Amino acid sequence: MSTYQKMAMALCLAFAADGSALADEFTEADVQRWQQQFMSVVSEGRELWTSPKLGTNGVACAQCHPNAANTHPETYPKFQKQLGKVVPLWQMINWCLKNPLEGQPLAADDPKMTALQAYVTYERRGVKLEPGKH
């Protein structure tokens, strides 16, 4: 064992003794917590998806996209002929917020946008990635 390795091991032991987790290890409890976090964001997304709050005219995403059907998150980024360029999913969501819902677009990192994308992608789970597909 080299000096460097000994030092690294000593450091790791020190962290472990400190109660901190090792960098490359996580427990079942961690996975459960992360999953809960994810599902709670999915659930917020579902709430937004079925609610008229994102728009101004009473229209909700779910009216045209029940269960987020016909959104094809696995095909983005892709060329949208009507926008004339390749866009990621969140830009298409904003098109819908501005047009059918007559609402305000959301910032890419807005927690609501994250929740919408989490919900859409969760409803599409199990489908293989096909970026660019039409």
Partner 1 sequence: MVLNSIRTYDDWTFKRWPTAEQRMLEMAGLDNPNSSPFMVGEEQRLWLEKDLDKVDKNTPVVVFSHSPLQKIYKGWNFWTEDADQIQALLKPFKKVSVIYGHVHQIQYNQIGNISFNSVMATAWPWPYPQSYAQAEQYLPKLTVPMNRADPFFERDATGWQFINVADGNADLNFTLSDNTGRIVRYNDTQKRPEDTRYQDEKTRIIPQTHY
What single-letter DSSP state applies at residue 88?
Answer: -
Q: What is the pattern of x (binds partner 1, CB under 8 A) and - over residues 2-41? A: ----------------------------------------
Nearer to partner 1, 17 or 125 (CB): 125
d(Cα 18, Cα 16) in Å, to the nearest integer?
5
Phi, then psi, of 85 in degrees rounded to 5: -160, 170
Residue 20: count of CB within 10 angstroms of its CB: 10
> How many angstroms separate the CA atoms of 61 and 48, rounded?
8
As given in the structure block, the two tokens for residue 92 are 């298409």
Q: Is 45 in the site for partner 1 (CB under 8 A)?
A: no
Site string for partner 1, 49-78 (x = CB under 8 A): -x-x-----x-x-xxxxxxxxx-x------
Which residues sit at the interface with partner 1, rule CB under 8 A?
Answer: 50, 52, 58, 60, 62-70, 72, 82, 95-96, 99-100, 123-127, 134
